[in-house]
């Protein structure tokens, strides 16, 4: 995979999303670095579930050790750090928010390209990767999914975690979030030429292990101690509270998919 350019297309620019994915992402790295390396992965997984779900993906994506592993919309980089630790891959991250890009570099020492939906990646050059909790934060979902398809090499596998709505009209969604329905998601993937190889639901995985949760909680507590009075912290908390309530009520659920690019048929002369 070759990185061609730095390209930010302005996705996710609302103040609420900036607070959550830029400012708080940068603060999270400060806190996790102060608390110690065992806090980095739990601090850096924002919206991607715990180790059981990440292992489900890694088992099915089956990357070769030292394979280049693309993480699109990588946030603070926890899932990429986890993949490097557990599967020995070499992650390459894309992420539109500058604060999150810096956080991922500082926490995990990985290459991060600041980019939104326009991926600075050559056509058909990616063999394996994932995109976790990102699709519902993107306004132009057909273009985003088509871009994912564009960069996948023949036979590639991509993990997707998508928050899917039970019904089209979700009340009180976090600002800037657009949850597809299950049918809408199936149409999106089909329209882009992506076939689903395997699927699961985030809720079916055992809760986060106690130690992981303790570390994530310690990071949150320290973030609140340092920034609890800052309106950007309160905005980010309100955003994550909203999605938490939608998941708890069953209106939205985490759908995990492994997709592969549909082979392109070439018509042979008669």
Ligand X SMILES: C[S@@+](CC[C@H](N)C(=O)[O-])C[C@H]1O[C@@H](n2cnc3c(N)ncnc32)[C@H](O)[C@@H]1O
CB 12 → ligand X: shortest distance, Å? Answer: 4
**Would you count residue 84 as binding ligand X (CB under 6 A)?**
no
Q: How many residues bind ligand X (CB under 6 A)?
A: 25
Structure tokens at 55: 């292992």
As measured in angstroms, the least distance from the Cβ of 30 to ligand X is 17
d(CA 75, CA 50): 15
Q: Which is nearer to ligand X, 31 or 74 (CB)?
A: 74
Nearest-angstrom CA–CA distance, 190 and 107: 36
Least Å from the CB of residue 263 to ligand X? 26
Q: How far is the CB of 96 from ligand X (least distance, A)?
A: 5
Q: How far apart are CA 51 and CA 257, in angstroms?
A: 16
Instruction: Give all strands of the β-sheet with 126-132 in edge-to-edge order.
Output: 112-114, 90-95, 68-72, 126-132, 152-165, 252-261, 194-201
Nearest to 17 by CA among 126, 138, 129, 128: 138
Which residue among 26, 70, 74, 156 contacts ligand X (CB under 6 A)? 74
- Residue among 40, 46, 102, 242 that touches ligand X (CB under 6 A): 46
Q: Which of 132, 158, 219, 236 binds ligand X (CB under 6 A)?
A: 132
Q: What is the rounded distance in angstroms from the CA atom of residue 108 to the CA atom of residue 91?
A: 10
In terms of Cα–Cα distance, which of 90, 68, 27 is closest to 224? 27
| 166 closest CA partner among 179, 175, 152 | 179
Q: In terms of CB distance, is 110 or 132 closer to ligand X?
A: 132
State in angstroms the smallest separation of the CB of 118 from ligand X. 8
Closest approach of Cβ 265 to ligand X, in Å? 29
Does the protein bind ligand X through residue 91 (CB under 6 A)?
A: no
Is residue 12 involved in binding ligand X (CB under 6 A)?
Answer: yes
Which tokens is 66 given?
Answer: 């030292």
Enumerate binding residues for ligand X (CB under 6 A). 11-12, 21, 45-48, 72-75, 78-79, 95-97, 100, 116-117, 132-134, 137-138, 144
């Amino acid at each position: 995979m070759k990185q061609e350019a730095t390209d930010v297309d302005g996705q996710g620019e609302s103040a609420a999303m900036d607070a959550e994915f830029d400012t708080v992402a940068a603060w999270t790295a400060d806190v996790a670095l102060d608390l110690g390396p065992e806090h980095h992965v739990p601090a850096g997984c924002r919206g991607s579930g715990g180790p059981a779900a990440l292992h489900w993906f890694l088992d099915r994506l089956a990357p070769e050790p030292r394979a280049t592993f693309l993480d699109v919309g990588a946030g603070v980089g926890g899932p990429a750090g986890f993949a490097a630790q557990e599967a020995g891959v070499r992650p390459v991250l894309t992420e539109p928010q500058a604060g999150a890009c810096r956080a991922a570099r500082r926490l995990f020492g990985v290459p991060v390209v600041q980019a939104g939906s326009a991926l600075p990646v050559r056509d058909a050059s990616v063999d394996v990767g994932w995109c976790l909790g990102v699709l519902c934060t993107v306004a132009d979902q057909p273009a985003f999914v088509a871009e994912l398809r564009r960069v996948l090499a023949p036979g590639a596998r991509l993990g997707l975690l998508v928050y899917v709505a039970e019904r089209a009209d979700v009340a009180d969604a976090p600002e800037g979030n657009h949850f597809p329905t299950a049918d809408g998601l199936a149409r999106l993937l089909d329209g882009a030429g992506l076939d689903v190889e395997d699927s699961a639901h985030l809720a079916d995985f055992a809760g986060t292990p106690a130690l992981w949760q303790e570390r994530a909680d310690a990071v949150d507590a320290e973030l609140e101690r340092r920034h609890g009075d800052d309106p950007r912290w309160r905005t980010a908390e309100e955003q994550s509270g909203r999605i938490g309530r939608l998941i708890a009520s069953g209106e939205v659920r985490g759908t995990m998919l492994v997709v592969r690019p549909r082979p392109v048929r070439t018509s042979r002369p008669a």
